[in-house]
Amino acid sequence: MNDLQNLKKFTTVVADSGDIESIRHYTPQDATTNPSLILKASTLVGYQSLLEDALSYARKQGGTQKTKIINASDKFCVNIGVEILKIVPGRISTEVDARLSFNRGMCVAKARKLVSLYQEQAIDKSRILIKLAATWEGIKAAEELEKEGIKCNLTLLFSFAQARACAESGVYLISPFVGRIYDWYHQRKPLDPYLVEEDPGVVSVRKIYTYYKQHRYHTVIMGASFRKVEQILALSGCDRLTISPYLLKELSKNNRHCDRKLSPDTGVFHRPTPLSESEFRWEHNQDAMAVEKLAEGIRQFAIDQESLEKLLTGKL
């Protein structure tokens, strides 16, 4: 068995891609997309029919030019998600506009709209995860959506405070960003020689995993944003791992023995008092890496969203 097959014995593998053919090839359980992947898909020949359908939908809905662009963008994201759901047996994660990350009400409204667009194509909400940035507002929006039966994936998660607040708010799933944490530390002090056990991204996810299992939180942990195969294998046993096509290919080429690294330890069971907003903000802001990477991630996703909207404007 290759590494990918071995990994699937312990962990649910999710494709971090909007590339339908890659997803078809690696047969993951679920798939995730983000604004960067959607922007890339908009330029590929195989996605032009989905793009044209989104533009047609926006024209029929009418409204101002800005409204049409927003409707076309939302519809295109959902169209890609629907195509992916024809391949994967599980769920698709579709992201809320990053520019709404500090507006709880708008996050909730956008999530409801995306779910409605899926339902118009006969996709039940049980197969959808709404991705939100793990700001305080995003976490509280997810708490509200979860009560309506809309499951959420909290992304751009870098600090332990973010992880705690998500679990305490009953969020369905979190995506801690292993590779981006590694990047931040490596840029400041190269991790040479590289030891995966000391990788800050790996250490962060292991800490969250242990905490969740000890306190019996039901929030799913899905490690994301990997740079190395070693990072993935070091988190074997994590609830889920979302992996790019490039690293899925690397895993499928190797035939090393893959042991389970993470196993639930439920020896402790008490729930700490939930963080208040002020406590959350204080704890999160004690982590310079998390503050920088969360802000950077939101900015970059917003830039990619704006680039997609420029493309749509030209076509409208």
Residues acting as catalytic residues: 131
Bridge partner residues of 131 (DSSP)? 95, 153
* Cα–Cα nearest to 262, from 224, 207, 302: 207
Place of tokens 């070091």: 234
Task: Give the pairing of strands 240-243 and 220-223.
Answer: parallel
Q: What are the helix (H) ranges across the chain?
A: 3-10, 20-26, 35-42, 48-61, 65-85, 104-119, 136-147, 160-168, 178-188, 200-214, 229-234, 245-253, 277-285, 288-315
Q: Structure tokens of 36?
A: 């960067």
Query: What is the identity of the amino acid at 282?
Result: W
Q: Structure tokens of 308?
A: 């997609």
Place of tokens 């799913």: 220
* Cα–Cα nearest to 135, from 299, 3, 306, 252: 299
